[in-house]
A and B are shown apart, each in its own frame.
Chain A
Amino acid sequence: MRRDQVLAAVAALVGLALIVVGVIYLAFDEHSIPSFFPGHSSHPSSHHHAKHGIAAILLGLACLAFAWFRTGPRQRAGASA
């Protein structure tokens, strides 16, 4: 696997992971999110970290866009030349 492809695959995986993280932030309150997530609260609460969720989804989409272009025709042509 070429370096370009590895980079694209890593970006795609990170992008998907960030989108999952964003959905968890949006779907669960701060008490129910995993304890290693920033913003986790050990006390019962109904507060959702919506901004964290949106930020994670935005970053995830940016990573996916990077991976999408990284594997585009120009990149492939450049790599095979």
Chain B
Amino acid sequence: MLVFAANGGHHAITYFQAIVIGLLQGVTELFPISSLGHAVILPKLFGWNLNQKEPYYLAFLVATHLATAIVLFLFFLREWVRILRGLGRSLRDRQIAPDDADARLAWLLVVGTIPAGLIGLLFEHQLRSLFANPTAAAAFLMVNGLILFAAERLRRRAPGAPERAQLLARSDESPTGPEAEKRLATLGYGEAVAVGTAQAAALFPGISRSGVTMGGALFVGLTHEDAARYAFLLATPIIGAAALLKLPDLFGPDGNGVRGPALAGALCAGLAAWASVNFLMRYFETNRLTPFAWYCLLAGFGALLVFVL
């Protein structure tokens, strides 16, 4: 096994650990089960001596997050091209034409991203310092399970949601393409802000970004499949921007000795993310969040027992 030591040998992360964490990141970032929670809990369960508050570990995570964001962007490339064209059209015309679903979806994503982005920029460090310990993460994982149960229970309960659900049921069922964007573009700006702000809950290790976003989208009347697509589109800029913002850490002194494992971890994260998004987009055509809710509840409970007893 190749081993490398960072920061004068005081902290070590092996290529094996990098590959496992990369695969874990790629899967758990997109499944509604919290990547941060798993990144905090599993190394502790494996008995790995990784200090997750150390700059070298954070520099390593930058690479895996960037890989996940790139994969998400490429998976929805055709959608992003249409969305960016719509954004350009609306800026050129200084209005969002009523029949321009691409432009409307673009601005829904913008207004949904701003609040979570601001909260993340201003409070990420404090929240990570406070709650990035395995016991808290296990407890929050259970909370995530309850949120997912609640999301299924409260589907289509928001004002106007039943009407939207009826409308969408009559529309073209095409899972991708402009018709899918038209369905997402039926969201209101207030709903987009609310769903986007909910993403900030993912700053608590154990709460899933895609879980709360999908839950919010289900609450306002979207189908599971459209909710998943909206969650992934909404996650792409924020994961990518957060990784790009911290990219200098990887190429600065904090990244010394980490770059090899980071590359291995990023490749694994990218592969796992591609497989995950492929699977989830098919899974949510016919299935619900409930199995993930049970998983979070039981895994969080089990981890909590291990850490507390």
What residues on A are CB-neighbors of B114 within 8 Å? 58-59, 62
Q: Report if A6 contacts B (CB, 8 A).
A: no
A54/B245 in contact, CB under 8 A = yes
CB distance from B128 to the nearest CB of A (A): 13
- Choose from B95, B122, B245 the contact partner of A69 (Cβ within 8 Å): B95
Q: A51-B122, A54-B245, A55-B122 are contacts. A68–B91 as well, Cβ < 8 Å?
A: yes
Q: Report if A71 contacts B (CB, 8 A).
A: yes
Q: Report if A44 contacts B (CB, 8 A).
A: no
B96/A69 in contact, CB under 8 A = yes
What residues on A are CB-neighbors of B117 within 8 Å? 55, 58
CB closest residue in chain B, given A62: B114
What residues on A are CB-neighbors of B118 within 8 Å? 55, 58-59
CB distance from A22 to the nearest CB of B (A): 11
Chain B at the A interface: SS class = helix
Tell me the bound Cα distance from A75 to B94 in angstroms: 9
Chain B 103-125 per-residue mask, 1 if CB under 8 angstroms from chain A, else 0: 00000001000100110011000
Chain A 48-76 per-residue mask, 1 if CB under 8 angstroms from chain B, else 0: 00111011001100100100110111110
CB distance from B175 to the nearest CB of A (A): 31
- Choose from A50, A52, A69 the contact partner of B94 (Cβ within 8 Å): A69
A71/B94 in contact, CB under 8 A = yes
Q: How many chain B residues touch A (Cβ–Cβ < 8 Å)? A: 13
Q: Report if B99 contacts A (CB, 8 A).
A: no
CB distance from B117 to the nearest CB of A (A): 6
What residues on A are CB-neighbors of B121 within 8 Å? 51-52, 54-55, 58
What residues on B are CB-neighbors of A55 within 8 Å? 117-118, 121-122
What residues on B are CB-neighbors of A54 within 8 Å? 121, 245
CB distance from B272 to the nearest CB of A (A): 29
Tell me the bound Cα distance from A72 to B93 in angstroms: 7
What residues on B are CB-neighbors of A71 within 8 Å? 94
Q: Which B231-268 residues have a C-beta within 8 angstroms of A?
A: 245
Q: Which A11-61 residues have a C-beta within 8 angstroms of B?
A: 50-52, 54-55, 58-59
CB distance from A47 to the nearest CB of B (A): 13
Q: Which B50-93 residues have a C-beta within 8 angstroms of A?
A: 90-91, 93
Q: Which B101-157 residues have a C-beta within 8 angstroms of A?
A: 110, 114, 117-118, 121-122
Tell me the bound Cα distance from A65 to B87 in angstroms: 11
A73/B245 in contact, CB under 8 A = no
Tell me the bound Cα distance from A65 to B110 in angstroms: 11
CB distance from A60 to the nearest CB of B (A): 11
Tell me the bound Cα distance from A54 to B95 in angstroms: 26
What residues on A are CB-neighbors of B91 within 8 Å? 68
B94/A73 in contact, CB under 8 A = yes
Tell me the bound Cα distance from A59 to B91 in angstroms: 17
CB closest residue in chain A, given B91: A68
Q: A58-B114, A58-B117, A62-B114 are contacts. A73–B95 as well, Cβ < 8 Å?
A: yes
CB distance from A56 to the nearest CB of B (A): 10
Additional A-B contacts beyond A55-B118, A58-B114, A69-B94 (13; CB < 8 A): A50-B245, A51-B121, A52-B122, A54-B121, A55-B121, A55-B122, A58-B118, A59-B114, A65-B110, A69-B95, A72-B95, A73-B94, A74-B95
Please provide the 5 A-B residue pairs with the shortest distance between their CB atoms, ordered closest to farther: A72-B94, A72-B95, A74-B95, A51-B121, A55-B121
Interface residues of A (CB under 8 A from B): 50-52, 54-55, 58-59, 62, 65, 68-69, 71-75
Contacts A/B (CB < 8 Å), 12 sampled: A50-B245, A51-B122, A52-B121, A52-B122, A54-B121, A55-B121, A58-B117, A58-B121, A62-B114, A65-B110, A69-B96, A72-B95
